Each structure stands twice: as structure tokens, then as C-alpha cells.
């Protein structure tokens, strides 16, 4: 039986009301060789009090308190002191299924080339149902993030990358981390079981990542991983040419459809979509 240790990293900032639910899902794991590091990221609520109740309940829960520095910094601080060979990030307002570790960890033994294991997911909270994401490929992940934060990877991979990028204070830190980990090769396995539950809130970080913040993150990613994006999209000149070609094709198609509709309306209904009525013969 595989008994390699998994370190579950739970950053918490102003999410004390959800923390026990997340930690309960950790406690229910059928795979028992784990530790859970709760990282208090300078939270002004009662995170410390709640964390302490879980430390008393089970010695596998550990606690780290630090000044507020953002999600990436909190995860990095927790992983830095982790004893496990494998890392599982878990946000304080989410949950994992009881068999997630049991199903995921053996996959690394079956395929030594694996860098990342994740699973199917469901939403809960303000929205419910399956969280359907595109299948993994390097091209797909170059377009959008399609792996949530709670995937399992080796701590060694985190060391090689240099951790989560702490400059990404507005979000998208998971996406950047996966790109850094996978762009030069390595396998990815998606379990067919639902192992992750994502809490949807009306004021989630994803909703806040818009406008100037989104532009900043896009530009930052494009520069940091220019080699990756050029590999999948071609040179920036080629990208510009393809955009122009797509725009021209779209405009031509739109004009053609308008022309066809106009002819149809004119013949059968006696008017044009452009507002010019056709006079019928007397």
C-alpha cells in the first residue's frame, strides 16, 4: 500500500466562517497519511481560534500565522514547511471528497511521468452543479486555466518552479503555476470521480479579476511565458495576421448573411431589412 505523505495547504484570509467545513473534508480522508497546514494570512477574523480547535482535535493539523501577503505568498509559506512528498492546495472555503487522496496518490506510482493529478469538480454555494472544464492539453491551457487550485503535485515541482508567483496579487496564480510546471513536459491525469467542490460566491476573486487587473495579468503572463504562448500561437506578427484574417472573414460572412436575408425579405414580404419597402406591382 502506498503511504507517501500528502501536505494539504489551507490559506485563510477572512474566511473563518467556512474554514471548519474545509477542514472537516480533510479529516474525512480515507487516505490517512496526511498533514494539513492552516496558514493564517494576517486575517482579522477569528481564524486563529477556529484553527486551534482543529489542532486540538487531530495532531495532523498544524498552524502557521504570517503577515498578510496574498494567496501566493500564503501557499508558499505553508509549502515551505510541509513534510509531505505531495502537495494539495485547498482554499479555506472549498471542500474535497473523502476519497480524493486515496484515488489520486497511487496514480503517481502508476505513471512516474505524471506531474499533476486532478479530478472532476462540482460547484456549491450561490451556484450548484457540475463544473465542466475543457480537457487538458497544452494548447487548451494556453487559452484559459482549466485546472482548479486543488490539484496534487510533488513538492519537488514547486521547488523547481520557485513557488507560486507572489507578484500575481490579483489572481490567476494557479494558471501561471500550471503553465510553469507543464510547459516543458510532464503528464497530467484527470480522475473520473468528483473529488473537489468549489464554493461559488457572488464576490469571488474570479469576479473581481476584471478590467485593468485583467489587462495587467494578461500582459504579465504574456511576458513571463512568451516562449510558451509563441509556441502555441506562433509569432506575435502571425497572431496579428490571423486576427486580421478572422476579422475580414467575419465581416464578409456578416455582409453575405445580411444580403441573403434582405433578398428573402424583399421577395417574400415586400420589405428590406434596411428599411426600404418594396413597392408591389399594381
Give residue-wise pLDDT tens across range 189-246. 999 999 999 999 876 544 555 566 777 777 787 778 878 777 777 655 555 565 566 6
pLDDT more than 90, % of the chain: 62
Residue 270 lies in a domain: no
Dump pLDDT digits (tens) for 13-38: 999 999 999 999 999 999 999 999 99
Residue 245 lies in a domain: no
Residue 279's pLDDT is 41
Residue 266's pLDDT is 61
Q: Give the separation between CA 151 and CA 162, rounded to whole angstroms.
A: 18
Residue 161 belongs to domain with CATH number: 3.90.550.10
Residue 183 lies in a domain: yes
Residue 251 lies in a domain: no
Contact 84, 35 (CB under 8 A): yes
Residue 97 lies in a domain: yes
Q: Give the separation between CA 92 and CA 71, rounded to whole angstroms.
A: 11
Residue 229 lies in a domain: no
Residue 279 lies in a domain: no
Work out the pLDDT band at 258, boundaries 50, 70, 90: low
Q: How far apart are the first and last CA of the chain?
A: 91
Cell of 154: 510533488
Does pLDDT of 5 surpass 70? yes
Residue with more model confidence, 250 or 24: 24
3-state secondary structure of 183: coil
Does pLDDT of 250 surpass 80? no
Residue with more model confidence, 125 or 276: 125
Residue 213's pLDDT is 77
Residue 248 lies in a domain: no
Work out the pLDDT band at 277, boundaries 50, 70, 90: very low
What value does the mean pLDDT of the chain take? 86
Q: How many domains does the chain have?
A: 1
CA 241, 246, 247, 252 dihedral sign is: positive
Residue 43's pLDDT is 96
Work out the pLDDT band at 263, boundaries 50, 70, 90: low
Cell of 175: 494558471
Residue with more model confidence, 263 or 65: 65
Residue 221's pLDDT is 77
Residue 229's pLDDT is 79
Domain that holds residue 30: 6-209
Residue with more model confidence, 90 or 272: 90
Dump pLDDT digits (tens) for 113-153: 999 999 999 999 989 899 999 999 888 888 888 999 999 99
Work out the pLDDT band at 177, boundaries 50, 70, 90: very high
| DSSP secondary structure string for all residues of 104-168 | HHHHHHH-TTEEEEEEEEEEEESS-EE---PPP-HHHHHHS--S-S--BEEHHHHHHHTSS-TT-
Residues 6+ apart with CB under 8 A from 148: 118, 121, 131, 133, 174, 196, 198
Amino acid at each position: 500500500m502506498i503511504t507517501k505523505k500528502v501536505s494539504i495547504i489551507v490559506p485563510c484570509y477572512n474566511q473563518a466562517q467556512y474554514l471548519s467545513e474545509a477542514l472537516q473534508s480533510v479529516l474525512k480522508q480515507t487516505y490517512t497519511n496526511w498533514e494539513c497546514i492552516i496558514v493564517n494570512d494576517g486575517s482579522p477574523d477569528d481564524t486563529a481560534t477556529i484553527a486551534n480547535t482543529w489542532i486540538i482535535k487531530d495532531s495532523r493539523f498544524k498552524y502557521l500565522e504570517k503577515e498578510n501577503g496574498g494567496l501566493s505568498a500564503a501557499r508558499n509559506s505553508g509549502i515551505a514547511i510541509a513534510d509531505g512528498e505531495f502537495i494539495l492546495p485547498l482554499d479555506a472555503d472549498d471542500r474535497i471528497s473523502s476519497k480524493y487522496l486515496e484515488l489520486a496518490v497511487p496514480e503517481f506510482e502508476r505513471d512516474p511521468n505524471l506531474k499533476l493529478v486532478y479530478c472532476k469538480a462540482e460547484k456549491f454555494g450561490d451556484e450548484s452543479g457540475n463544473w465542466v472544464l475543457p480537457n487538458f492539453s497544452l494548447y487548451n491551457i494556453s487559452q484559459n486555466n482549466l485546472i482548479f487550485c486543488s490539484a496534487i503535485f510533488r513538492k519537488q515541482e514547486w521547488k523547481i518552479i520557485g513557488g507560486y508567483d507572489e507578484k500575481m496579487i490579483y489572481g490567476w496564480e494557479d494558471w501561471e503555476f500550471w503553465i510553469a510546471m507543464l510547459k516543458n513536459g510532464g503528464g497530467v491525469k484527470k480522475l473520473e470521480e468528483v473529488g473537489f467542490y468549489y464554493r461559488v460566491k457572488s464576490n469571488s476573486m474570479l469576479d473581481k479579476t476584471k478590467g485593468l487587473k485583467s489587462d495587467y495579468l494578461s500582459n504579465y503572463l504574456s511576458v513571463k511565458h512568451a516562449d510558451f504562448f509563441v509556441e502555441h500561437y506562433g509569432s506575435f506578427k502571425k497572431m496579428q495576421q490571423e486576427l486580421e484574417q478572422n476579422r475580414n472573414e467575419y465581416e464578409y460572412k456578416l455582409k453575405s448573411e445580411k444580403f441573403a436575408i434582405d433578398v428573402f425579405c424583399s421577395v417574400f414580404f415586400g420589405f428590406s431589412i434596411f428599411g426600404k419597402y418594396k413597392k408591389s406591382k399594381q
